[in-house]
Amino acid sequence: MSDTPAADQLSDAEYHRIAQAVLASVEAQIDRWLQDDVIDIDAARTGGLLELSFANGSKIVINTQPPLQELWLAARSGGYHFRCVGGRWLEREGRDFFDLLSESATAQGGKPLRFNP
C-alpha cells in the first residue's frame, strides 16, 4: 500500500483552470523579477508548455499533461510528475511543485529564487 495521498478528483475544466493558474503565477513571478532587475529569465509559453531559459543556457520546462491531470517539471536536477493533492501539486515523494521549482531555479539561476502558489 502506498503512503502517497490520493490525487484530487478534478473535472477536466477544473484541471485546466488550476494548471493554467500555476503557469500564470510562474510567469507573473518572472515578470516581477525582470521588472525589479533581480534576474534575467526568458519565459516562453505555448499552450500548456512553459519554457524558462536562464543566462547560462540551461532551461526548466513545465508542461501540463491533461490526460493524466499532471504537471511535469524538467530541470537539470531531473524530471518530476506532480498531481493535485489537497489543492497542492505534489510529486510521488510528497515534494511540492513550487518548492522543487524554486530549488531548480535557484540552482540554475545562481541566486536564491522563490516561486509561490
CATH number assigned to the domain comprising residue 62: 3.30.920.10
Q: Is 52 part of any domain?
A: yes
State residue 117's pLDDT score. Answer: 87
Beta strands per DSSP E along 12-92: 42-46, 49-53, 59-65, 70-75, 78-85, 88-91
Regions in the chain scoring below 70 on pLDDT = 1-4
In a domain, 6, yes or no: no
Please check whether residue 62 is in contact with residue 49, taking contact to mean a CB–CB distance below 8 angstroms: yes
pLDDT at position 1: 40
Q: CA 53, CA 69: separation in Å to the nearest integer?
A: 25
Residue corresponding to grid cell 493533492? 85
Residue 116 lies in a domain: no
Write out the residue range of the structural domain in which residue 75 sits. Answer: 12-108
The helix/strand/coil state of 73 is: strand
pTM: 0.93
